[in-house]
Amino acid sequence: MKFIHIFLIVATILNFNFLKADEIKTENKIAKNLRCLICQGQSVYDSDSEFAISLKLVIKNKIQEGLSEEQIYSFLKMKYGEWILYDPVFNRNTYFLWLLPILIFLAGGAIIIKKFYNKK
Amino acid sequence: MKSKFIPLILILIFLITFVIFFKGLKNSNIYTPDTNLKKEVPSFELKSFENDSIVISEKIFKDNDYYFMNIWASWCIPCKEEHGFLMKLKKDDRIKLIGFNYKDNLKNASSFLKDLGNPYDIIVSDKDGTASIEWGAYGVPESFLVYQNKIIKRFIGPINNEDLLEIQKIIR
């Protein structure tokens, strides 16, 4: 009986550690996807500016409050604008940016297929 | 037919790329945040600067009054430069000044206000800077003009004489 108790306690503690590790993982992931607005060419994760330090703390608090990654991104987008996100959002201004590689890929594929069949 | 078609496409692609890059040349690559915003004031609960009492944002910002929310710190050099203008703004009783003491220690901040004067009606301390993030602030100094629970204008960096005149124009 005592053994089971100890086992349960150890198991719970280990589980907490996993949770914590997951939190830190998402925290870092989010910070890496954010542009440090007052630095040049650095993500929030890389920066040690006062702004980035506070922002990392906010991310940590939001995760603990139970917000999802998407919710945190949209929260920061609301506060700081789209520029804070490294991934440009798909909208009227950026659809060309997103679709151009696909178009080029398709055009290239068409040329290759055409050549291939012509040879035959 | 085929030999005519390919050069035409190439020229078209070249032209499109040219137009895009040419247009891009004129765009500014310096990011300037939007300063005219109509955003709700974020609610906060922070410790008061003078004592340990909790200050709630809903109790500070009331309708039909202008508020000037200023983020400052004693370690911030441009804040010293700005302070003279804040003292001038204090003389205007149509506007209330709210100080946001950013990542500062009490002793330094108190002596800063002692030396240069205290323009603020209320000071709250934002020890870890998280409340400033809720406001969408970049750092110190930064100020927000609040009216009817909305941020109507924001000033990034120290305010100057022009800004002061602009504020006086708005609140008139």
Look at residues B99, B109, B102 and name the one whose alpha carbon lies nearest to residue B70.
Answer: B99
- pLDDT of A52 reads 93
Cβ-based neighbour number of residue B22 at 10 Å: 9
Would you list the domain boundaries of chain A? 2-87, 89-120
- Nearest chain A alpha carbon to B6: A111
Q: Number of CB pairs < 8 Å for A and B?
A: 40
- Average pLDDT of the residues in A54-73: 92
Q: Between the CA atoms of B80, B82, B83 and B88, what dihedral angle is there, to the nearest 10 degrees? A: 160
State the pLDDT at residue A19.
66
Domain residue extents for chain B: 39-171
Q: Note whether B129 contacts A53, CB cutoff 8 Å.
A: yes
Average pLDDT for chain A: 86
Return the CATH superfamily for domain A2-87: Cytochrome C biogenesis protein (1.10.8.640)
**Domain B39-171: CATH superfamily, name plus number:** Glutaredoxin (3.40.30.10)
Determine the Cα–Cα distance for residues B58 and B83; give it in Å rounded to an integer: 26
Cβ–Cβ below 8 Å for A81 and B33? yes
Given an 8 Å threshold on Cβ–Cβ distance, is B139 in contact with A80?
Answer: no
Report chain B residues whose CB lies below 8 A from the CB of A96.
20
Q: Which residues of A touch B103 (CB under 8 A)?
A: 50, 54
Q: What percent of chain A is helix, strand and coil (3-state, nearest 5)?
A: 70, 5, 25
pLDDT tens, N- to C-terminus, chain B (172 residues): 567 788 898 999 999 999 988 988 887 766 667 777 777 888 888 888 888 888 888 888 887 889 999 999 999 999 999 999 999 999 888 899 999 999 998 899 999 999 999 999 989 998 888 999 988 898 889 999 998 888 888 898 899 999 999 998 888 8
